[in-house]
Amino acid sequence: MNIYSEISKHMDSGTACILATVVGKSGEGPVEVGKKMIVGSDGIAKGTVGGGALEFYARERCKELLADRKNLLEKYLLNEGEVIKDAKTLPMVCGGEVSIFYEYIGPDACIYIFGGGHVGQATVNVLKTMNFHITVIDERKAVYNAFKGADRKVNMSFTEFIESEGIEEGSFIIVCTPSHKHDYNVIYKVIELGLKPQYIGMLCSPSKLNDFLSRIYKKFGKNADLSNLYSPIGLDIGGGSPEEIAISIVSEILVVNNGKTGHKHMRVGDFKW
């Protein structure tokens, strides 16, 4: 199996994987240095780091590290009942020691931009300098054809995209469609389907936000979970050009993704009732 072609597939699709590589071995064991295995977000493993308890444990470790987006170097003693410093003992009888380096390969997050107009294009121009996988959705053929820079662009109605593909858990959504109706429908569909992005930013005015909230509460009740809604979108840095708005939006995404606090958001309230 060509491990690197499998990694390339993950990178092209914006899905993450963990590459586990045997980087050290002493004594007896079922694997040689350099053997590799990847585990994707679907939990499917390809390649091998030796089989048996070692490989089972490595697969489970990959799943944990995928959730945390972290790298790790770990040593294993393949001799049940014995203990050595800085190594995890596995239920095997080979007697040797194996070190595996786990490498996270993938975007820091997936970002969906609904609306490829001036703000959408300016936002992608900023985002594409960073390690994000960017999908832009717009149903307008002319806008779709003119758009540049996204990892993927989709010419489809906004709600149809959500219904057919969903939204990756923990992702970021930017809602900047050409109409209030489309904005509402995007967020409505996310709530209706129980999807779990960590951020939904909507480009809007305070009056538009009030109308949006009244419609959402009427449909889903006052207990609708809007804790991940940031609207008006962006940090309060001033400026009204598409480029300035884009920097404001990307700055807010970085704040949320990096778990920072203390910044002045444009967001009205915290939407937690």
pLDDT at 68: 86
What mean pLDDT do residues 162-172 have? 94
Q: Is pLDDT of 162 > 80?
A: yes
Residue 265 has pLDDT above 70, yes or no: yes
CA 14 – CA 114 distance, rounded (Å): 17
- Whether 112 shows a pLDDT value over 60: the answer reads yes
The pLDDT value given to residue 1: 61
Identify which of 49, 56, 50, 41 has the alpha carbon closest to the alpha carbon of residue 9: 41
For 25-72, write each residue's pLDDT tens digit.
Answer: 999 888 899 999 999 988 899 999 988 899 999 999 999 999 888 999
> What is the reported pLDDT for 11?
87
Q: Minimum mean pLDDT among 62-71, 124-133, 209-218, 262-271: which range?
A: 262-271
Average pLDDT over residues 199-226: 88
Q: How confident is the model at residue 270 (pLDDT cuts 50, 70, 90)?
A: low
49's tokens: 């780091």
**Model pLDDT for residues 120-143, shown as the tens digit of each residue:** 999 999 999 999 999 999 999 999
Asked if residue 76 lies in contact with residue 90, where contact means CB atoms within 8 angstroms, the answer is: yes
The pLDDT value recorded for residue 273 is 34
Going by pLDDT thresholds of 50, 70 and 90, the confidence category of residue 271 is low
Is residue 172 over pLDDT 60?
A: yes
- Given a cut of 90, whether residue 154 has pLDDT beyond it is yes
Q: Give the whole-angstrom CA distance, residue 195 versus residue 54.
A: 35
- pLDDT at 3 > cutoff 70: yes
- Angstrom CA distances, 230 to 96, 103, 131, 200, 270, stand at 53, 32, 22, 6, 8
pLDDT score at 51 = 82
Return the pLDDT at 269.
Answer: 65
Q: What is the pLDDT of residues 173-194, one digit of tens each?
A: 999 999 989 999 999 999 999 9
| Structure confidence at residue 134 (pLDDT) | 96
Query: In order of start, what are the domains of the chain with their CATH numbers?
Result: 3-105 (no CATH), 109-257 (3.40.50.720)
